[in-house]
Amino acid sequence: MKRIALFGGTFNPPHLGHMLMAQEALYTFELDEVWFLPVGRPPHKSDHDLASNQDRLDMLLASIDGQKSFHISTVELEREGRSYTIDTVRLLKEMYPTHHFFFLIGGDMIDYLPKWEKINELLKLISFIGVSRPGAKSQSSYAQYVKQFDMVQVDLSSSSIRKRVKEGKPITYMVRDRVASIIKERGLYES
């Protein structure tokens, strides 16, 4: 039975914080693989500055290049309309009945779990793992359902990277070189 962490997000763009989080979860929880799940239309975000599905997929492929335990699942990109984790988990469990799935979240997402679509049903289907936030304790009653782990804190966000690109500032050391090249070559996030 493979132990797989699902790591959902817009990855707009994927950055080194995402990769570090995936790597730390892989080793901390003795996972076999981490599957990145780029979402098509996230239910909680506007898509006014969302790069195309293909651009985000290409950047994600460039980000995980060389890491044998990292993979990408496009099930959410292929789904029409809003994308909910509950639907994705049901589908993947049906497709891979012998795998044991976890869902990887950032520590900031723990407080938002009560707002997730059918969260109580989801908790019966999958285990959550999440990054601990130094000095912060979640007030959510759902925190008890998240296996937390510590990692080096990296203060990076996709939105701050998009802002830097728009302002013409460098993003070196924030994303892999090939991701920076894709952003520049395709003129992503410039306007």
Task: Determine the pLDDT at residue 132.
Answer: 81
Amino acid present at 26? L
- The answer to whether the CB of 160 falls within 8 A of the CB of 16 is no
Indicate the angle between helix axes 16-28 and 53-64, nearest 10 degrees: 60
88-145 pLDDT, tens digit per residue, is 999 999 999 999 999 999 888 888 999 999 999 999 999 999 988 766 677 788 889 9
Q: Is the pLDDT of residue 164 over 90?
A: yes
Task: Determine the pLDDT at residue 63.
Answer: 98
Decide: helix, strand or coil at residue 25.
helix
CA angle 52, 58, 60 (to 5 degrees): 105
Q: Assess if CATH 3.40.50.620 describes domain 3-153.
A: yes
Confidence category of residue 153, pLDDT binned at 50, 70, 90: confident
- Residues 6 or more apart whose Cβ sits within 8 Å of residue 117: 43, 84, 85, 86
Q: Is the pLDDT of residue 8 over 80?
A: yes
Task: Determine the pLDDT at residue 80.
Answer: 78
- The answer to whether the CB of 9 falls within 8 A of the CB of 39 is yes
Q: CA nearest 133: which of 114, 155, 159? A: 155
- Distance, in Å, from the CA atom of 168 to the CA atom of 146, rounded to the nearest integer, reads 39
Per-domain residue ranges for the chain?
3-153
